[in-house]
Amino acid sequence: MAIQFNQVTKKYGSEKALDNVSLQFETGKIYGLLGPNGSGKSTTLKLVAGLVYPSSGVVNVLDEEVTRRISRKVAYLTELDMFYDSFTVDKMVSFYKTQFPDFNMDRASKLLEDMKLDGKKKIKQLSKGNRGRLKLVLTLAREAPVVLLDEPFSGLDAMVRDSIIKSLLTYIDFEEQTVIIATHEIDEIEPIMDEVIAIYNGHIIGHENVERLREEQGYSVLEWFKTIMEERGV
């Protein structure tokens, strides 16, 4: 099993972002983690990435309890911009190479070309769409066994979203890597998901195989998600 949550609760003050969650993610699958803002999606990814720790319970990645050192096994695309604006695109790529031994420069070069990013351009000159593309380059150029994408489509236009999907299909190793995409943009990722997990108020309220959902229940992921949210009066 690539990732295991065992009775994990995460509190911020008196508020529970996750409440006694037990969950497993298998190697070689793409998971969609769905839920409204504030549901616990980002906290789930941060727990896997070692950026926050459980208040109780245990998170394991590849049979290792998560600490800060887990970053060597986890590539994490945050919803926030984490750039040095004075750097050029090429300098930012080179900086990532110094930070992560699994960073593949050949793959990064191909991704930059696919994303039509000018390596000589300063990051502060990039549009929001191109900053989003650069974040994806830096994440997918790593050969980490776990890839986490937090709201990768947020605020981006349809063309950029399409390029992100194509890059995922091209550069993910579907036998070796586990991918978790936290999003409320369901339509974009439905075609590439293996499994879908719905989270609401820190609780897992649904977990389905996407193909089985379509074939046996006749639901699209969006229809399924709307149904289980309506059952909770949302």
CATH topology of domain 3-230: Rossmann fold (3.40.50)
pLDDT category at 170 given cuts 50, 70, 90 is: confident
pLDDT at position 27: 95
The closest alpha carbon to 206, from 225, 231, 187, 223, belongs to 225
Residue pLDDT, tens place only, 210-228: 999 999 989 999 999 999 9
Question: Domain map of the chain by residue range?
Answer: 3-230
Residue pLDDT, tens place only, 111-157: 999 888 999 999 999 988 888 889 999 999 999 999 999 988 877 77
Q: What pTM does this model have? A: 0.93
